[in-house]
Amino acid sequence: MGERSGTSVATTGAVIKFDDRKLRLIVARAPDLVESVVNKTGFDIVRLAQNRVPVDTGATKNSIRSRTISRFTRRIGPTTLYAIFLEFGTLRMVARPFMVPALEGVRQPFLNALGAIYRRFQ
């Protein structure tokens, strides 16, 4: 059996997987549309995470950002040192995840948008 090639988009503990042959096709034929989907998805993840994060001082909420790594890559997350403890918990603190649920909240719309571009340009 042949292996399928694939690409993953990952965040703290959650991953969106898809066939990279289709992705390469739409990036080649409609790079501006793909970039638009990536930008919108990044901002949607930030918005959802900011709405979910537990707030004491607001520092973690205010630190959640989408940073551009390359045209089709964004690094999204908080910059406070203790955010990981909020997300995953500790021995003495229950987890209060906000980044993984934010990613899960945009998974299907992201895949639907890429699928629509693929169908338009295949």
For residue range 46-63, what is the model confidence (pLDDT) as tens digits? 999 999 999 999 999 999
The confidence band for 21, taking pLDDT boundaries of 50, 70 and 90, is confident
Please report whether residue 59 resides in a domain.
Answer: yes
pTM listed for this prediction? 0.83
Is the pLDDT at 16 greater than 80, yes or no? no
Range of the domain at 92: 7-121
Work out how many domains the chain is built from and give that number: 1
For the segment 24-28, the average pLDDT, to the nearest whole number, is 90
Please report whether residue 2 resides in a domain.
Answer: no
Please report whether residue 15 resides in a domain.
Answer: yes
Please report whether residue 75 resides in a domain.
Answer: yes
Please report whether residue 51 resides in a domain.
Answer: yes
The sign of the CA dihedral 73, 38, 42, 105 is negative
66 with 79: CB under 8 angstroms?
no
Please report whether residue 32 resides in a domain.
Answer: yes
Q: What is the token pair recorded at 53? A: 């994060």
Please report whether residue 111 resides in a domain.
Answer: yes
CA atoms within 13 A on the CB side of 35: 9
Please report whether residue 1 resides in a domain.
Answer: no
